[in-house]
Amino acid sequence: MPRLTGVNIPDQKQILYSLTYIYGVGISSAKKILKQAKVKQDKKAKNLTEKELNALKKALGDYKVEGDLKRSLVSDIKRLKEIKCWRGMRHSKGLPVRGQKTRKNSRTIRGNVRKTVASGRKAPPAPK
């Protein structure tokens, strides 16, 4: 398995889709990285040469991925909480941040996952 930025990428997949296993790299940025590294998109990850792997590592160096990206996201949320802006308050209260309704939805963010219960009707008595 080739290893890029501390992540083992799958061998059997095309390199375009294998790159998306890296946190912070989606399909569009993977296409840009492959174009910059001059690697064909349909090539399997196991068939990459050392030269191509080094070119991919160099191209990935321009992007903020994995730990750096996660750290910056955490620091951004922390900054929002410290300045007590609306988004920061929503983060600290554990409510949806992007304007969603909360009356019926947002169960997952609030941690109030309901179990499905049968209707309130009584079951008919069993025949004797």
Task: Name the phi and psi angles at 95, rounded to 5.
Answer: -110, 165
Residues 6 or more apart from 48 whose CB is under 8 A from it?
A: 2, 15, 39, 56
Do the domain assignments include residue 125? no
Report if pTM > 0.75.
Answer: no
- CATH code of the domain covering residue 34: 1.10.8.50
50 and 92 share a domain? no
pLDDT per residue as tens digits for the range 108-126: 777 766 666 666 677 777 7
- CATH code of the domain covering residue 72: 4.10.910.10
54 and 24 share a domain? yes
Structural domains in the chain (count): 2
Do the domain assignments include residue 128? no
What is the domain range of residue 52?
3-60
pLDDT per residue as tens digits for the range 65-112: 888 999 999 999 999 999 999 999 999 988 888 888 888 777 777 776
